Structure 1
Amino acid sequence: MAKNKGVRIVITLECTECRSASASEKRSPGVSRYTTEKNRRNTTERLEIMKFCPQLNKMTLHKEIK
């Protein structure tokens, strides 16, 4: 039997500065992404969290993507 879709959903957080940063500023190519869960009932809007970006080697804003 399949379970009902729960309240908690898996989301992906992507670095906002990696997309606009040039290659000379980055330590390695690519975009920093984290996966996490959020409660759909408590947090209806998209998440924005400060997290560490290993490509830029600093704390940056990570936004929820689809």
Structure 2
Amino acid sequence: MAKKGTRVVVTLECTECRTVPPSEKRSPGVSRYTTEKNRRNTTERLELKKFCPQLNKMTIHKEIK
């Protein structure tokens, strides 16, 4: 039986995809990644620099609910 730990699955969403008009994107939509974080060590929301395939560049991805 698995232990119930402090790790939770979080979703990271691109911050620039919502503000850029669709004509400047490679494809429609918003870039999202899923990852795990330790709730005990990281209480605030995650912000990671990840690759956004819609914009074809590195952007900041923030944790969403």
Query: Per the shorter chain, which TM-score range?
Result: over 0.9
Give the Å deviation of 1:58: 0.0
- Residue of structure 1 equivalent to 2:19: 20
The CA deviation at 1:4 is 5.8
Q: TM-score, normalised by structure 2?
A: 0.94
The residue type paired with residue 53 of structure 1 is C
AA aligned to 1:55 is: Q
| Amino acid across the alignment from 1:21 | V
The amino acid of 1:23's aligned partner reads P
SS of equivalent residue, structure 1 residue 29: coil
- Structure 1 position 6, deviation (Å): 1.8
Give the alignment's TM-score, normalised by structure 1: 0.92
- Report the number of matched residues: 65
Name segments (4+ residues, structure 1) moved above 6 Å: none
The 2-side partners of 1:7 and 1:61 are apart by 25
Aligned residue number for residue 48 of structure 2: 49
List alignment gaps of at least 5 residues for structure 2. none
- Report sequence identity in percent: 82
What is the aligned-residue RMSD (CA, Å)?
A: 1.2
Q: Distance in 1 between matches of 2:39 and 2:48?
A: 16
How far apart are 1:36 and its partner, in Å? Answer: 0.2
> What is the CA-CA distance between 1:5 and the residue it aligns to?
3.8
